[in-house]
Structure 1
Amino acid sequence: MTDFSYTTIDGTYKSFRAQLNNDYTVILFLRHYGCGMSQLDMLKYRDAYQFLQRKGVDVFMVIQEPTETIAEKAAKANIPFPIISDPEQILYQLFEIPSSESVRKLVAGVSEEKLNEMIDYGIDCYQVEGNELQLQATVAFNRSGQVVYSHYAENISDVPSPTELVERLEASLA
């Protein structure tokens, strides 16, 4: 893994490699907070935080919003893990996370189950912050910085749930 430095939403500057302290460290690259699916994934991972910690999984999220914008939203949502603001999409480029070719492809095959979960959570979509066609990705590292799992989304609902993620990480050991 190529190390990179980032600034957390509280303004702390850190090296990512120095954060690899658990069995797994996962980076979830989401889109922007105005995207209902990104909000849903953020809340699902928030709700599974204790489960993930028991399984030896640390979570980081990268989102396109500027630090000032996402800090307030993350505080209101009680997000317990670090969120990296990347409005210039430097990390999206470093990890070669593509954008969709069109809005049509971005939403093609969207999970009806996740749409219903958005309704259950009371999530609304609103203002776009950044690249509206940006796809998501999930990349997991072990303590040595080796990628042990990666998933690049095909549409806006294609992010593994916390349970699916743990299952895939455990399968990587087999």
Structure 2
Amino acid sequence: MAYTIDTLAPDFSATLVNGEAAQLTEMIKTQSVCVIFLRFLGCPLTRLRLAELEKEIEKYEINELKLIVVFESTVARTEKYMTRKGLTMDIIVDEQRKLYDLFDVQPGGLKTMLNPNMLKKAGEATIKGHMHGAFEGNELQLPAAFIINKEQKFSYVNYGEHPADAVATDSILLNMTA
């Protein structure tokens, strides 16, 4: 079931790559939470979006919004990548896809891979040096973004229509009703 605005968000607990616990009901006591689902760490589209998000962390903080990024990978590979790229954001690796399933973030089909916008964004990622790494997740995975407010309800929901359809930070913040 795809979620919609004003519906109750499912509670979850997970461990961030840095070892800290992340429990939704605890995090929303102090601020709204933005959960962004990407594909997998080896994907150039994920790597491009991580670089963009790292530059935009302050925008989330200014808007009192805790940013959590979820993707498929291993903790060891993610720690190594974060160190190499200087990433400081809160990341959850979801190898078993439990959060993807909980939030109903589904893979697309072959047709979504051929979307012209996806092909354009993949080219942009490659030109910016984000080459394909290890194949460690679902190649057809679609992105998604959610804002969960202090009442544990969704105030923003976006399910991507193709693999490169990761919503921009400014669009998330513009539509924020937390």
2-side partners of 1:125 and 1:37: how far apart? 9
Identity of counterpart residues, as a percentage?
Answer: 21
Alignment of 1:77 with 2:85, yes or no, is yes
* Correspondence 1:8-19 to 2 at 5 A: 8-19=16-27
Q: Shift in Å at residue 109 of structure 1?
A: 3.1
Q: Shift in Å at residue 93 of structure 1?
A: 0.5
Alignment of 1:91 with 2:99, yes or no, is yes
1:110–1:56: structure 2 CA closer, same or farther, 3 Å change rule?
A: same
Instruction: Give the aligned length.
Output: 170
The 4+ residue runs of structure 1 with deviation greater than 3 A are 111-117
The residue number in structure 1 matching 2:58 is 50
Q: Shift in Å at residue 137 of structure 1?
A: 0.7
Bigger CA drift: 159-168 or 84-93?
159-168
Q: Is residue 99–residue 134 contact of structure 1 (8 Å, CA) maintained in 2?
A: yes
5+ residue gaps, structure 2: 1-8
**What secondary structure is seen at the aligned counterpart in 1 of 2:40?**
coil
The residue number in structure 1 matching 2:75 is 67
Q: Give the TM-score of the pair, scaled to structure 2.
A: 0.86
1-side partners of 2:127 and 2:58: how far apart? 21
For the aligned residue pairs, the C-alpha RMSD in angstroms reads 2.0
Among 131, 139, 145, which residue is 1:132 paired with? 139
The residue number in structure 2 matching 1:2 is 10
The residue number in structure 2 matching 1:144 is 151
Q: Shift in Å at residue 120 of structure 1?
A: 5.5
The residue number in structure 1 matching 2:32 is 24
Bigger CA drift: 152-161 or 19-28?
19-28
Among 35, 41, 47, which residue is 1:33 paired with? 41
5+ residue gaps, structure 1: none
Q: Shift in Å at residue 155 of structure 1?
A: 0.8
**What secondary structure is seen at the aligned counterpart in 2 of 1:110?**
helix
1-side partners of 2:146 and 2:136: how far apart? 22
**What secondary structure is seen at the aligned counterpart in 1 of 2:49?**
helix
1-side partners of 2:152 and 2:68: how far apart? 14
**What secondary structure is seen at the aligned counterpart in 1 of 2:66?**
strand
